[in-house]
Amino acid sequence: MSRSTTDAPSLPATSPTTAGTTGRTSRGPKAPRTFEQANRRLKWLMLSPALAFVGLMIVFPLIFTVNLSFTDAFGAVNADNRYIGLQNYADALTDVRRFWPAAWRTVIFTVVAVTLEVVFGLALAMLMRKAFRGMRMVRTVLMIPLLATPVAIGILWLLILDPTNGIANHLLGFVGIPPQEFLGSVSQSLPTLMLIDVWQWTPMMTLLLLAGLTTLPEEPEEAARVDGATAWQRFRHIILPMLWTTLLTALVLRAVDALKTFDILYATKGAGGGSSFEVETLNVYAYGLTFDYQEYGLASAVLVLFTLFIIGVVVLLRLRSGRKSA
Amino acid sequence: MSTVATRTPGSPGPAATTRPPVVLRPPRRSPWGWLRALAITVVSLIFAMPVVWMIAAALKTNVQVTDPSVGLIFSPTLENFRSILADGEILRSMGNSLIVGVASTALSVVIAVPAAWAVGRFSMQRTGSVVLVARIVPAVSLLVPWYYLFAQVGLVGTYTVLILSHMFVSVPLILWIMIGFFEGLPVELEEAARTDGLTAFGAFWRIALPLAAPGTATASVLAFIFSWNNFMFALILADENTKTMPVTLFSFISYASTDWGGLMAAAALMTVPVVLAAVFGQKYLVAGLTAGATKG
């Protein structure tokens, strides 16, 4: 990190000060250093600390994890592990007790939560599209769920949704709905956490889509209005197609994060996603395998499969975006 | 300021097309306008109320916290804050969160801002996709190798390993925000400076960097908040003395689940600084959070 600040200033000093000159410099005795070459060195100097940092932090772990996934590592990662080929993958993919339910929960959680977030986020963005009094305040309020600490949010919802002492059941009582168990029950835990996720991340969708909406030209919509298109027609055939790329970018970012949701699940339901694994997603499962059971080999295989799955989702959504916007 | 002050005469809203402009009287809202205002109010309340409830609960006695009929009208007490702060653990872990957050953010700015300038100015967009890779990989898959690697050099449990792990989140984040910011700066300013004799680095240091100060500030605040909120890294890589606030908060759930007042006070201590950042930096933080999303 010191390189960019100490070496770099001396470097471009050898470059000519104006573009398009011959490029000969007094300090480049061997090769004539052109402007472009000097710039190339500068840009790599500026880039390399960040690239090297992220690369080192990610490349070694990835190799390490892939390697572990082919071993029977258990208890310790550096003990004498035997290579067992694809056994861990076979074990994971035939595990109908923990792996497949976890994979299924991951998909359900993501699809339901992200769909609701897109629908609500888009509706709210359309509501807020035209300026109104208090816009600033509403945007501030929208920032709070997504910037607040997830663990704190998890604890907060534990209090609100407490079956006996929570305000949620108290309020439901006013409209005649019997008390619910929420996070205290096996069947309601995952849906409840989906709704908490929707509360937490709909604002992000709204802010992203609002940013997208403000960049859209107004003329097409005005033209359609003049031609007598209804509000719904203008939304469906003018705004939505123009907003499509922003929508898909937001969708990809949110889907990746939703697949990897951990903090709020772990904070509210603890290790293993509860006593019956009721909210155990792939991320929670892999975490438990790793740090509760020290099943490093199997955990690594699950993580490789999980990572491939996330990449698959991203590629799929990107392909769709390419086809639609083309 | 009136509600419709931002409307230009040339593009009247649906309400104005149906009736002539009324002078000397604030324009009436159409039924749709009222419905819209109502909807926005209800939605805002849905997003704001839980956090308001958290802060209210933190100011209640333990009897009041578990009695849902006590709404938002009660005489507040600081007793919960007094009791959790007396313990010292909360203050220490808040200090740890602060140290890790500030150090990881500062170091990330130092390496990510020049990199963002290089990507933005020399259009090396492919290199920027490193950011996406860092976002995709599940953190759990990094933790075991990191733990193993840093244990070899005796760093597990130290601030260093926490700072490095948090930088793994903040470097891509700052890079992502600042690439967009530098691309938005007119390149002519730097070119003019170059013509006047500044080197390429000089143009970055004296022209681009000062102009990018608002963007850098935004990116730094967001990076700090994400470090402040980070739970999983410290859960594994910290020890008793270096553990950060979310980890302490989490341990409170298991050991003191009946002390709702204390829990809410601790949660409020975590959340209030973030809320204040949102209130005072709303415009910039929204721009930072949505950076890059509209480029497609």
Higher pLDDT, B161 or A130: B161
Q: Is the pLDDT of residue A2 over 80?
A: no
Cβ neighbours of A170 in B, within 8 Å: 68-69
Cα–Cα distance, B31 to A68 (Å, whole number): 64
Domain boundaries, chain A: 3-68, 95-325
pLDDT at B293: 67
- Look at residue B257 in the predicted model and tell me its pLDDT: 57
Mutate to test the interface with A, among B41, B51, B144 (most CBs of A within 10 A): B144
**CB within 8 Å of chain B, chain A residues 197-256:** 199, 202-204, 207-208, 210-212, 215, 218, 222, 245-246, 248-250, 253, 256
pLDDT given for residue A138 in this prediction: 93
Confidence band of A122 (pLDDT split at 50, 70, 90): very high
List the single residue in A130, A148, A160 with the smallest CB-CB distance to B271.
A148
What's the Cα-to-Cα distance from A193 to each of A157, A180, A262, B205, rounded to whole Å? 9, 14, 11, 47
| ipTM field | 0.84
Q: A322 to chain B nearest CA, in Å?
A: 10
* Residue B37 sits at the chain A interface (C-beta within 8 Å): yes
Nearest CA in chain B to A315: B136
- Homologous superfamily of A95-325: MetI-like (1.10.3720.10)
Query: Is the distance from CB of B150 to CB of B237 less than 8 angstroms?
Result: yes
For chain B, the domains span: 30-78, 82-289
Tell me, yes or no, if the pTM score tops 0.90: no
Residue A118's contacts (CB-CB under 8 Å, 6 or more residues apart) are A205, A247, A250, A251, A254
| β-strand partners of A71 | A83
Residue B233 confidence (pLDDT): 94
> Mind listing the pLDDT tens digit for each residue in A208-237?
999 999 888 989 988 998 998 888 999 999
Report how far apart, in Å, the C-alpha atoms of B206 and of each of B192, B209, B210 are. 12, 6, 7
Residues of A (31-70) whose Cβ lies below 8 Å from B: 38-39, 42-44, 46-47, 49-51, 53-55, 57-58, 60-62, 64-65, 68
Name residues whose C-beta falls within 8 Å of residue A166's C-beta, 6 or more positions apart in sequence.
A159, A160, A182, B68
The pLDDT tens digits for B52-63 are 999 999 999 888
- Asked if B197 is an interface residue toward chain A (Cβ–Cβ < 8 A), one would say yes
Best A33, A46, A182 member to test B by mutation, with max B CBs in 10 Å, is A46
Find, in chain B, the residue whose alpha carbon is nearest to that of A321: B296
Lowest mean pLDDT among A12-16, A159-163, A306-310: A12-16
pLDDT-flagged residues of chain B (< 50): 1-17, 296
pLDDT reading at A325 higher than 70? no
pLDDT of residue A19: 40
Q: How far is CA B120 from CA A175, A202, B179, in A?
A: 55, 30, 5
Over residues A48-73, the pLDDT tens digits come to: 899 899 888 999 899 999 999 999 88
Residues 6+ apart with CB under 8 A from A67: none
Say how many residues make up chain A: 326
In angstroms, how far is CA A88 from the centroid of its own chain? Answer: 27
Please answer yes or no on whether A208 and B290 come within 8 Å at the CB atom: yes
Lowest mean pLDDT among A2-6, A310-314, B276-280: A2-6
Can you tell me the distance from the alpha carbon of B183 to that of B173, in angstroms, rounded to the nearest whole number?
16
pLDDT for A256 equals 93
Listed residue (A158, A172, A179) closest to A274, CA to CA:
A158
Q: Which CATH superfamily is domain B82-289 in?
A: MetI-like (1.10.3720.10)
Which residue type occupies A212? G
Q: How do residues A169-201 score in pLDDT, each as one tens digit? A: 999 999 999 999 999 889 999 999 999 999 999
Chain B 131-160, residues with CB within 8 Å of chain A CB atoms: 132-146, 148-149
The confidence score (pLDDT) of residue B256 equals 52
Q: Where are the beta strands (DSSP E) in chain B?
A: none
Cβ–Cβ pairs < 8 A, chains A and B: 317
Q: What is the mean pLDDT of residues A246-259?
A: 92
The pLDDT mean for chain A works out to 85
pLDDT at B92: 94
User: What is residue A208's predicted lDDT score, i.e. its pLDDT?
Assistant: 93
For residues A323 and B49, the model is more confident at B49
B167 touches chain A (CB under 8 A): yes
**Amino acid B201: pLDDT:** 85
Hey, are the CB atoms on B51 and A139 less than 8 Å from each other? Answer: no
Query: With an 8 Å Cβ cutoff, are A46 and B115 in contact?
Result: yes
**pLDDT for res A322:** 57
User: pLDDT tens-digit profile of A77-114?
Assistant: 776 788 998 999 999 999 999 999 999 999 999 999 99
Q: Which of A15, A51, A141 sits opposite B130 (nearest CB)?
A: A51
Check CB contact under 8 Å for B282 and A211: no
Contact call for A1 and B111, based on CB within 8 A: yes
Interface contact flag, A43 B118, Cβ < 8 Å: yes
CB interface of B with A, residues 75-104, below 8 Å: none
CB contact under 8 A, A266 and B231: yes
